[in-house]
A and B are shown apart, each in its own frame.
Chain A
Amino acid sequence: MSRRRVGLTGNEAVALAWKQIRPHVVAAYPITPATQIVERFSEYVAQGEVDTEFVAAESEHSALSACVGAAAAGARVLTATASQGLALMHEVLYIASGLRLPIVMNVANRALSAPINIHGDHSDTMGSRDAGWVQIYARSVQDAYDRTLLAVWVAERARLPVMVCLDGFTLTHSLEPLEVYPDEAVQTFLGEAPTDGYTLLGGEPITVGPLALPDSYMEFRRALAAAMERVPQVLEEGVRAFRAHFGQDLPSLVDARGTEDAEVALVVLGSYADAVEQAALRARVRGQRAGFVRVVTFRPFPTTPLREALGGVREVVVLERADTLSGLGGPLGVEVRAALYDLEVRPRFTDVIFGLGGRELRDEELDNLLRAGPPGGVVYLGVEGSRVLELA
Chain B
Amino acid sequence: MSLNLRELSQRAQGLAPGHRACAGCGFPVVVRLLFAVARRPLVVVNATGCMEVVTTLYPYSAWPVPYLHNAFENAAATASGVEAAVRALQRRGRLSSPPKVVAIGGDGGTYDIGLQSLSGALERGHEFLYICYNNEAYMNTGIQRSSATPQGARTTTSPVGRVLRGKVQPRKDLTEIVAAHGIPYVAQASISHWADLGRKLQKALEVSGPSFVNVLTPCQPGWDYPPEQLVEVARRAVESRYWPLYEVEGGRYRVTYVPREPVPVRAFLEMQGRFRHLLGDEEAVEALQRWVDANWERLRAREAKDH
Contacts and interface: CB of A to CB of B under 8 A. Distances in A.
Contacts of A202: 66
A28 to B, nearest CB: 12
A75 interface: yes
Contacts of A212: 58
Contacts of B82: 69-70, 72-73, 200
Interface string B209-249: 00000000000000000000000000000000000000000
- The bracket for how many chain A residues form the interface is 35 or more
A224 B74 CA distance: 23
Nearest to B62: A207
A27 B120 CA distance: 12
Interface string A49-87: 001110111110111011111111111010000000000
Nearest to A58: B120
Contacts of A115: none
A46 B155 CA distance: 50
B88 interface: yes
B92 A24 contact: yes
A74 B71 contact: no
B68 A216 contact: no
A309 B305 CA distance: 78
B85 A207 contact: no
Contacts of A200: 43, 66-68, 82, 85
B85 A58 contact: no
Nearest to B56: A210
A202 to B, nearest CB: 8
Contact of B77 (A25, A62, A73): A62
Given A75-B84, A201-B66, A205-B65, A69 B92 contact: no
A391 to B, nearest CB: 35
Contacts of A63: 77
A206 B84 contact: no
Given A201-B66, A209-B69, A213-B57, A27 B116 contact: no
- The bracket for how many chain B residues form the interface is 35 or more
Contact of A27 (B53, B65, B80): B80
B56 A207 contact: yes
B120 A74 contact: no
Interface in B54-80: 56-59, 61, 63-71, 73-74, 76-80
Given A25-B81, A58-B116, A95-B71, A201 B56 contact: no
A1 interface: no
Nearest to B119: A58
A218 B116 CA distance: 33
A58 B117 CA distance: 7
A202 B78 CA distance: 18
A204 B61 CA distance: 13
Contact of A68 (B58, B59, B70, B124): B70
A92 B116 CA distance: 16
Interface string A1-41: 00000000000000000000000110100000000000000
Contacts of B123: 58
Which of B80, B83, B124 has most A Cβ within 10 Å? B80
Which of B85, B99, B119 has most A Cβ within 10 Å? B85
A226 interface: no
A213 B89 CA distance: 34
13 contacts: A58-B123, A59-B116, A62-B76, A68-B81, A69-B70, A70-B85, A201-B43, A201-B95, A206-B67, A208-B69, A209-B69, A211-B52, A211-B56
Interface of A: 24-25, 27, 51-53, 55-59, 61-63, 65-75, 77, 91-92, 95, 200-202, 204-213, 216
Interface of B: 43, 45, 52-53, 56-59, 61, 63-71, 73-74, 76-89, 91-92, 95, 99, 116-117, 119-121, 123-124
| 9 cross-chain pairs, A with B, having the tightest CB-CB distances, nearest first | A69-B81, A58-B120, A66-B81, A62-B77, A209-B69, A73-B85, A65-B74, A24-B88, A207-B61
